[in-house]
Structure 1
Amino acid sequence: MVTSPFSLALNEPTQIVEHAVVNRNYYCNLLNLPTKPIAGLIPLNQVQNNGRNLNNVYIDVLGVLRGCGTPRTINTATGETFQVLHVEIFDVTAFSLSISLWDSDNILRASTWTPRYTVLFFTDVKLEWSDFEKAFRAKCTNRTVVTENPPCRETEFLLNYAKDAPIETFDIVDKMLTTLPEANQIQEIMSVNQIQNRVDSILQGITVDKQFSALVYAYITNMDLDGINKSTFAKW
């Protein structure tokens, strides 16, 4: 972790001149040192489960790159032009968290990031609810610092997990299907209320086993295929 008590602020007219140094790699390695303690991060599943309490709050997250979108150009009403890039990260607790990059330097750096092999530590990203996606997502601001592959045990653990972790939608579904028992082997019968109670206990960390199968005798009252109903995300 960076422990220097000093900071450097650059204004618009500032000119940066490259310093002639023999061993540049020694200083480049400093870019991998996190600017805040890794221990202060919030697991991605906590972002999904407790997002309402974290809405519009600055948080620190650590995850492996799941994928990068394509930079988009946005024109504002005042005539200004900005670029934005959406990236997704994942960890052992959640499949994905979408983060938007607005800084040109970070967008340029993102072109060198590789899914599964780049661990990113975001400090002070702002968590917001997206009405369009019906989910919580994070946004980089002028407070945000992005550190690539910080040298710590958490990075090694995530890289090892990411080797076989499913990052494509079909891979995730296929992995879930391979762990499901045969239909004729399911013996437990549960009501809708019992299922909701079981899911609540999983979200609260009371139940260790996060996957279960049951027979449900019920009729469908609503099909929220577009994911408009927020309770669908809260329960399932």
Structure 2
Amino acid sequence: MSYKGQVQNFVAISDLHPNTIHPKVAGVIIGKTDVKSFPDRKNIGFDRFTFGFTIKDSPEYFINVSSWGNDGYINGLSNSFSIGDCVIIENPLVATKDPEKEDKFCASTPSFYRLLVSEAHSQLSICADVDMVNWMMPLLHHPVKDSRDFYSLGDIMANGKSLDGNVINILAVVRSIAEPKYFTTADGRKGQRLEVKLFDDSVTSFPLLCWDKEVIQLAQTLIPRETVLFISDARIGFDSFRNCMTATVNSKTIITINPDTKEASLLYSYAKDVSESGLLDENDMSGDVSVDSISDVYTVSQLKLKAKENPEMFCVVTYSFISKLDLNASISKVIRSRCSKCRYQVNEETQSCSNTACPGLDQPLTVTTGFDLLVDVTDHTGTLHSCSMNGTVAEKTLGCTHEEFVNLTEDERTAMKWKILLERCKLYIKITPSSKTRSGMRCNVLECSLADPGEVKQNMSALL
């Protein structure tokens, strides 16, 4: 039962009808689009402005609302509330929706109607009734679609280009949130773009693209690795430039933060375990940061100081020496197999995953095998101990695959080590805060190559 059903003068969304006289509706905002303008056909040279939003007043019922008007009214109305606010709408027009048009451009709703808010007849205000607000807020955690009706990120990757252009539901965890990027289109309109990286128990990094100001503001409030999202009606596409699948928030999309569902609870528990283990940091480090975007040059001591002062992840370039590279250790310490589902190390004796909370425990074990090295990085100011150099990064640095390495003789491994050890290198390093390490940070080598002496002199002289 909706809250309005218990309060006089409010009409529940489920009871709305075009014959309703002077309806007064209350609900929580679960979705909102940016203001858009169109040429006014009746007044040449002038624009009409519009935006839409979706309100919910019970776990089952929600409805789309739109408003048209002049620049001042529409922008003023839009700026007066945000997603997550509880609002009261007085005297909206209740209109029968065109399902074909409505479901194509707006969130799919169970209501047969839509609401129109106009400057002349309607009024919208933020709800000041504390009891009503407290009753409404939990509705933000109820997905608008069946909580079992979603694709895992692994499903999306497996289906690949066959999903291109489709609109689907996704359940995933926020891994990271990039800084918004601003641009101006060819016709002079200003825009913005923000990328959120998602992960689940099948994929460690998947891009979600946000273009609307409203969604970007919402995304910037999310806590990475602690926020589960149920994203209804996200558009799936194939990014040919990056050669990967992506999801995009559109005018139909409704994002439910930390859904109150069994599926979301299980995923949250998995995210907590994998984040605390540090394996999320170690996995695919070269894949979630482009080295082309890293330009700041630091000495080791400067890097350590920044890590103490900066609680966020950051990336730097350092011209340093690999001072420890133990390629003569046993193969099991150089090359490791990890569970494909959770990235925990596989027990070599039992050939089983060592993670008791692994989501794939009841499934046949699948593993990924690759280099898993810990190296020390040193310059004239100090040493970074136990930096991870994994997977393809290690393969490129050493010049061989892990399969080839297994077949090398002891002398060949020693010769390979001394081609790099104590040589000046150019290293791209990612620093991530960690309460699990003695130094308070995790260091991952994203790329390593022998440094050009002229480049070293030019860059290091600026640091002296």
Aligning the two structures, in what range does the TM-score lie when normalised by the shorter sequence?
0.7 to 0.9
Larger Rg: 2
Distance 1:69 1:138 in 2: 15
Partner of 2:258: 149
Larger RCO (CA under 8 A, 6+ residues apart): 1
Distance 2:200 2:190 in 1: 33
Partner of 1:172: 283
What is the CA deviation profile of residues 100-143 of structure 1, one whole-angstrom value per residue up to 9, with x for unaligned ones?
11221221112221112110111111111112211000111101
Q: Which has the higher strand share?
A: 2
Gaps of at least 5 residues in structure 2 are 1-57, 78-123, 285-335, 350-362, 371-401, 405-464
Partner of 1:117: 226
- The correspondence of residues 200-219 of structure 1 with structure 2, limited to 5 A, is 208-211=364-367
Secondary structure at 2:203 match in 1: coil
Letter paired with 2:345: T
Q: 1:20 aligns with which of 113, 128, 132?
A: 128
Partner of 1:105: 214
The normalised TM-score by structure 2 is: 0.38
Partner of 1:3: 60
Partner of 2:181: 72
- The correspondence of residues 56-95 of structure 1 with structure 2, limited to 5 A, is 56-95=165-204
Distance 2:265 2:229 in 1: 12
What is the CA deviation profile of residues 26-56 of structure 1, one whole-angstrom value per residue up to 9, with x for unaligned ones?
2122111111111110111011111221111
Letter paired with 2:65: A
Distance 1:124 1:140 in 2: 8
Distance 2:337 2:226 in 1: 21
Partner of 1:130: 239
What is the CA deviation profile of residues 193-226 of structure 1, one whole-angstrom value per residue up to 9, with x for unaligned ones?
xxxxxxxxxxxxxx82211669967xxxxxxxxx
Cα pair 2:337 2:368 within 8 Å, conserved: no
Distance 1:128 1:117 in 2: 26
What is the CA deviation profile of residues 149-204 of structure 1, one whole-angstrom value per residue up to 9, with x for unaligned ones?
1101111111110112157764226994973688xx9xxxxxxxxxxxxxxxxxxx
Distance 1:54 1:67 in 2: 24
Q: 1:86 to 1:168 in 2, by over 3 A?
A: farther
Distance 1:3 1:140 in 2: 22
The normalised TM-score by structure 1 is: 0.72
Letter paired with 2:365: D
- Stretch of structure 1 that moved more, 88-97 or 144-153: 88-97
Letter paired with 2:151: I
Secondary structure at 1:165 match in 2: helix
Residue 73 of structure 1: CA displacement? 0.8
Distance 2:369 2:283 in 1: 18
Secondary structure at 1:9 match in 2: strand
Partner of 1:43: 152
Q: 1:213 to 1:139 in 2, by over 3 A?
A: closer
Residue 2 of structure 1: CA displacement? 3.6
Partner of 2:440: none
Distance 1:75 1:160 in 2: 41
Cα pair 2:337 2:346 within 8 Å, conserved: no
Distance 1:178 1:17 in 2: 51
Letter paired with 1:123: S
- Do residues 52 (structure 1) and 108 (structure 2) align? no
Distance 1:181 1:22 in 2: 54
- Do residues 163 (structure 1) and 266 (structure 2) align? no
Q: 1:213 to 1:73 in 2, by over 3 A?
A: closer
Letter paired with 2:367: Q
Distance 2:137 2:167 in 1: 27
Cα pair 1:32 1:151 within 8 Å, conserved: yes
Cα pair 1:2 1:36 within 8 Å, conserved: no
- Stretch of structure 1 that moved more, 170-179 or 110-119: 170-179
Cα pair 2:204 2:280 within 8 Å, conserved: no
| Percent identity (aligned) | 26
Distance 1:22 1:121 in 2: 27
Residue 89 of structure 1: CA displacement? 1.1
Distance 1:168 1:216 in 2: 23
How many residues get paired? 194
Residue 93 of structure 1: CA displacement? 1.4
Letter paired with 1:171: E
- Coordinate RMSD, CA, aligned: 3.0
